[in-house]
Amino acid sequence: MDSATTLTSLIIALPLLGFLVNGLLGLSSKSFRQRKALIGTIANLTVFIPFAIAVYFFINMGQDSAPIFAELFTWIKVGSFSVDIAYQLDQLSILMTLVVTGVGFLIHLYSVGYMWEDEGYWKFFAYLNLFIFAMLNLVMADNLLLLFLGWEGVGLCSYLLIGFWYTDMANSAAGSKAFWYNRVGDFAFLVAMFLTFQHVGSLDFDVILSSLEAIPADDKFWIAFLMFIGATGKSAQIPLFVWLPDAMAGPTSVSALIHAATMVTSGIYLISRMSEMFVMSPEVMMIIAVIGALTALVAATIALTQNDIKRVLAYSTVSQLGYMFLALGSGAFTAAMFHVVTHAFFKALLFLGSGSVIHAMEHVEHGLHEEGKDVHFDPQDMRFMGGLKEYMPSTYKTFLIATIAIAGIPPLAGFFSKDEILAFTFNAGFAGFAEPLYMVLWGVGILTAFLTAFYMFRLTFGTFNGGFKLPEKISEATGAEKYLHESPKTMTIPLWTLGGLSVVGGFLGVPNFLLSTFTHQEEHINLLHNWLYNVTADYGLGLSHSVEWILMTVSILVAVGGVYTAYKMYGSGATEESDAKLADRFGALYETWKEKYSLDEFYEGIVVHPTVKWSDKGLAKFDMKIIDGIVNTVGGVVRLFGSVFRYIQTGVTSSYALALVLGVILVLSMLIL
């Protein structure tokens, strides 16, 4: 093994090792479970070292470097089918690896403090390590099948971690739900792989991408379409997104890591990885863009009606993922990856910040119980918060940074990535396929940008501004604010680190026109574009500088407008009053948003309930009564014959003789007559 292969395998192997050590020792030894510092150290190191290795690779990699391949061993080899356990580090996968291990490490660090009191501490870190292992397989695989191993692996970890507090049935039900919705997508993914193999004879990325002409156009459409369906499961898009909000049942650091920063972006990674194939099928590109824009809008409208701080963030994640799909569908793969990165920073930060808030609110509840007061409230409900900025300055400041970033205010991270997506959507309006439609989608994107700024500031103002509402709501809780406190250092350090990244992250992708307008020549200041140039098949940007300036101005104005509106309505912390105003103004529409478009009820009523009922009352009965009934009838008929013939077999010789004589007479009479 050369050193690159060794290091690559280390990236993959260490998190697995961490899982095995913490998992097996934790399962078998009670005393090990108590050694929380050791468990935390193992778990953190097995993510940090891979991060360090990834950084080393990154530094030594140029934008034109050939990919590093590490082939470990043959996985499956049967007949003409062969697939290896083999990894590939190119510009795209190293980017994802850095995000997964980097943000992953920060969240591991945060979890040391966040989960310290939990009795399943060892198990939590074992699962978290397993997740990193699976996620790294997903982003580093050099073939579709190994990617799929990671794909289902992260799904498993998501299932285990959503249902981490499994003694509450709602949590484990949410876990199962996530797994099932993902399986629907995985089913499509599987068929896409079969179709690919049928035409290409391999599942290796380089073979597939270099023999695309071997696939007939129709099947190219189907492969791309089915892969996209797979992506809608994992990346929570219409029609399969309903599992993600429920997934918030898991510990908050899980929401940050899995359901915001990494796993849910798998679909975007997959499509970027296969971008050369997707661009050959403009119909699929259009479908992706439409679904992305719709998801962005639908989720944003739901987000502005929710009061559970984590649920708002969950819908916000769905909405932001929608943006990324809009980017993919507009041929802006780099912009999509850019948004993956910046979103990982600010959304992880938002979740960790919300975790910090929830931590504090739980502490309040706990403190009141200690006093002997029987006070119960939902520690995630914004309506009991307010005014927290006084008590939790670090959490507040970092949360605010992330909010500004996601709202798209320059020059923070979200601004550049979202602006690029919108510019490319506009650009796709001139790309020759479904042009007017892309213009409409641009409009939807702009509208959603306004909503994003609005609902995010509603959340931040509602949580941190105004006065602390718990004592106002529950008289027994008077003086409860004395229990409010900032979270420990292990939690605030990751907050500030992510805060820093949310501020500067956008400079990875500063648009080229910002400079070339002044220098009047082609500039390449967009680092991410330069970096991914060889890997993704982006559409060319054919807009003039003046158009680009106008587009950027529009998106800034919209974002500022959203912030301003939110400030006017919610700046003082009057959440419920302003919500009531909104409900008044939008009437039935608002109800629809608040009811989350009743999608859960729809699936429940149309698919789940009828299937279960039909299987129970129909099939299971059919099986026992009809199918088994036929078997029994056949058996019964045979027995009937047997019981009739039994009477003939009397064993009395004289009756046999009689029968013999009768028979002879019968035969003779037939012959004579």
Partner 1 sequence: MELLLNLVIYLPLLGIAGILALRNDKATKWISLAATSATFLLSLPLLFSFDVANSGTVQYLTEGSNIMAGLDIKYLIGLDGLSLLLFMLTTLMGPIVILSSWDSIKKHLAGYYSMLLLLQTASMGVFASLDLIVFYVFFELSLIPMYFLIGIWGGKNRIHATVKFFVYTLVGSLIMLVGLIYTGYDAGAAIEGYKFTTDWRFLSGSEYQIGLVEQTYLFLSFALAFCIKVPLFPFHTWLPYAHTEAPTAGSVVLAAIMLKMGTYGLLRICLPLFPNAFVEFAPYLATLAVVGIIYGALVAMVQKDVKKLVAYSSVSHLGFVVLGLFAFNTIAVQGALIQMINHGLSTGALFLIVGMIYDRTHTREIEDYGGIAKVVPVFAVMFMIATLASIGLPGLNGFIGEFLILNGTFSSEVLPQNAFVVFAALGVILAAVYMLWMYQRVMFGPIKHEENKKLVDLNAREIGLLVPLVIFMVWIGIRPTDFTQYSEVQVQELLESSNEKRVAIQQSADSEDLPQWASNLYDVTDELASKIKNQ
Kindly tell me which of 73 and 645 has the beta carbon lying closer to partner 1.
Answer: 73
Nearest by Cα to 348 from 160, 491, 134, 507: 491
Which residues are within 8 A (CB) of 259 and not within 5 positions of it... i.e. 6 or more apart?
A: 158, 244, 247, 248, 250, 314, 317
For residue 206, count CB atoms less than 10 angstroms from its CB and return exposed for 0-12, middle for 13-18, buried for 19 or more: middle
Which one-letter DSSP state was computed for residue 475?
G
Kindly tell me which of 76 and 659 has the beta carbon lying closer to partner 1.
Answer: 76
For 210, half-sphere exposure in the C-beta direction (CA atoms, 13 angstrom radius) is 5
- The count of chain residues that interact with partner 1, using the rule CB under 8 A, is 52
Q: Does 586 bind partner 1 (CB under 8 A)?
A: no
Q: Does 17 bind partner 1 (CB under 8 A)?
A: no
- Region binding partner 1 by CB under 8 A among candidate stretches 143-151, 261-269, 399-407, 552-560: 143-151
Torsions phi, psi for 216 (to 5 deg) = -60, 150
Q: Does 148 bind partner 1 (CB under 8 A)?
A: yes
Q: Does 193 bind partner 1 (CB under 8 A)?
A: yes
Kindly tell me which of 78 and 673 has the beta carbon lying closer to partner 1.
Answer: 78
**Least distance in angstroms from the C-beta of 261 to partner 1:** 23
Nearest by Cα to 11 from 135, 147, 122: 135
- Per-residue binding string, partner 1, 33-72, x by CB under 8 A, is ----------------------------------------
Kindly tell me which of 631 and 660 has the beta carbon lying closer to partner 1.
Answer: 631
| 3-state SS record for 353-380 | HHHHHHHHHHHHHHHHHHCCCCCCCCCC
Please pick, from the candidates 56, 194, 430, 656, the single residue that binds partner 1 as defined by CB under 8 A. 194
| 3-state SS record for 271-315 | HHHCHHHHCCCHHHHHHHHHHHHHHHHHHHHHHCCCCEHHHHHHH
Return the number of other C-beta atoms located less than 10 Å from residue 36's C-beta: 17
Please pick, from the candidates 4, 20, 55, 184, the single residue that binds partner 1 as defined by CB under 8 A. 184
Q: Tell me the Ramachandran region of residue 300: left when phi exceeds 0, alpha when psi lies from -120 to 50, beta otherwise.
A: alpha
Kindly tell me which of 173 and 440 has the beta carbon lying closer to partner 1.
Answer: 173
User: Do residues 281 and 220 make contact, with C-beta atoms less than 8 angstroms apart?
Assistant: yes
- Region binding partner 1 by CB under 8 A among candidate stretches 148-156, 360-368, 405-413, 463-471: 148-156
Please pick, from the candidates 10, 52, 214, 612, the single residue that binds partner 1 as defined by CB under 8 A. 612
**Least distance in angstroms from the C-beta of 355 to partner 1:** 23
User: Do residues 579 and 305 make contact, with C-beta atoms less than 8 angstroms apart?
Assistant: yes
The amino acid at residue 629 is: G
Kindly tell me which of 162 and 304 has the beta carbon lying closer to partner 1.
Answer: 162
Q: Does 601 bind partner 1 (CB under 8 A)?
A: no
Kindly tell me which of 158 and 306 has the beta carbon lying closer to partner 1.
Answer: 158
- Kindly state the tokens that stand for 340: 């993956």
Kindly tell me which of 197 and 533 has the beta carbon lying closer to partner 1.
Answer: 197
**Site for partner 1, rule CB under 8 A:** 27, 73-81, 85, 145, 148-149, 151-153, 156, 159, 163, 166-169, 172-173, 176, 179-180, 183-184, 186-187, 190-191, 193-195, 197-198, 611-612, 615-616, 619-620, 623-624, 627-628, 631, 635
